[in-house]
Structure 1
Amino acid sequence: MFRTSARLGLVAVIAVLGVTGCSQGKPEAEKPRVATLIPPSASAAPSASAAPERPRQRLDDTEADYQALVKPYQKCMKAQGFADQKSGASWAEGDDVPEELRKAQDACKNFWPLPPWEMDDANPEAKDFARDTVKCLKAKGVKYVEVADDGIGISSGGKDNDSRSIALTGEYLDACQREVAAKK
């Protein structure tokens, strides 16, 4: 019996020495390595030449939120020599824009807010969102409403510009958009 317990004790001592010996070979300062998608040569900081990311409107933005989004654009346009506009409009669009205004708009385009993602033509689900919004508006009593020709906008009033449909669209559009977005 003594021999068996002595052997077990000897095995336990060897096991402890083996574990202790293995752990002493690894320096304490070395940290465990974690897998990453960023190669070691890549810098974590963005380059100074990177263009600022355009702000994006949200469906739940208030008018005050929108005005805050367009302030950088207005500031840029003012620096280009064009006075502020209270509405935050892009000053002019289309073929009738004077060349100097077009240049200023191009210089400031990175500050102009993108539409909400649900209504952005870059979103592959934007057309579904528009269709579902039209269904919601019709369920609320809007008679003349449809998806616009661009596939993502909403057009109301029909050929006769039905004032009731236009008014109801204005009344229910935000609620329908939020309702549809909540379901997705």
Structure 2
Amino acid sequence: MKFIPGAVVIALALAGCSTAEPPPEKVATLATTGASSAPPAASTSSPDLERPRYRLDMTNADMDQLRAPWKQCMAENGSPLPSSTGPGISDPGQSAKPGDPAWAACLPKYPLPPWQYDRNNPESMDFVHKMVQCLRQKGVKQVSEMPPAAGSERNMLALGGESNDAESVAKGMEMIPVCEKELTAGGAK
């Protein structure tokens, strides 16, 4: 049986307003054996819930503004910034140096990827697959799906193939925003 804290509070509040005889002690008392089926309150709050998140419709200026607190934190903690930190280029998990306290201290300020690419989104790889199909329909010859690299928070697509086809890279970079807009016509998250 699953324990739902809100339901217990509501049931107890309704019981307190009743004019009927109070229920037997067994019903009104919640006995625990030390192990609860509900997660502790602290575990329901994830550090990722506090982190900012990129959106597909953001401009470069918007992304720079969203990253500004992270950049400031990194500077305050004496760590050099990676050369490229755009939402599709790099993330701290890929560039982090093990044991670097600045990365750990500043990670809560680093923006999460757009939800459509977030590896924690169960539909993300479907979105990436649709992106690859869309890009191919738009003439990008060398494009493929790519699962997240170790330490990365996002699923990605790769342009250019093994030969790093310049035409596919250029056309893909031009068409990615077009396909993202088409696939999220209901509004980007």
Q: CA deviation at 1:79?
A: 2.2
Number of residue pairs matched by the alignment: 140
Matches within 5 A, 1:10-25: none
AA aligned to 2:67 is V
Aligned-partner Cα distance in 1 for 2:54–2:116: 10
Residues 70-149 of structure 1 correspond to what in structure 2 (within 5 A)?
70-82=67-79, 93-94=94-95, 97=97, 99=99, 102-149=100-147
User: 1:27-75, CA deviations, whole angstroms, 9 ceiling, x for partnerless residues?
Assistant: xxxxxxxxx94848xxxxxx9xx76700000000110110111111112
Is the CA contact 2:82–2:95 (under 8 Å) kept in the aligned structure 1?
no
Distance 2:78 2:60 in 1: 26
Question: How big is the alpha-carbon RMSD for the aligned residues of Structure 1 and Structure 2?
Answer: 3.4
- Structure 1's 166 and 111: CA in aligned 2 closer, same or farther, altered over 3 A? same
Q: Aligned partners of 2:62, 2:76: CA distance in 1, in Å? A: 22
SS at match of 1:182: coil
Distance 1:84 1:158, change over 3 A: closer
Task: Please identify runs of 4+ aligned residues in structure 1 that moved more than 4 A.
Answer: 83-95
Q: Pick closer, same or farther for the CA change 1:142–1:87 going to 2, 3 Å.
A: closer
Partner residue, 1:154: 157
Q: For 1:98-148, what per-residue CA distance to the aligned partner results, in whole angstroms no more than 9, with x for missing partners?
A: 74xx11110111000000000000000001000101111011111111111
Q: How far apart, CA to CA, are the structure 2 residues paired with 1:120 and 1:92?
A: 13
Inter-partner Cα distance in structure 2 for 1:133 and 1:148: 12
| Aligned mates of 2:133, 2:105 — CA distance in 1 | 40
Per the normalisation by structure 2, the TM-score is 0.62
Note if 1:60 corresponds to 2:57.
yes
What TM-score comes out, normalization by structure 1 length? 0.63
Runs of at least 5 residues in structure 2 that lack an aligned partner in the other structure: 11-41, 149-153
Aligned to 1:168: 171
Indicate the structure (1 or 2) with the bigger Cα radius of gyration.
1
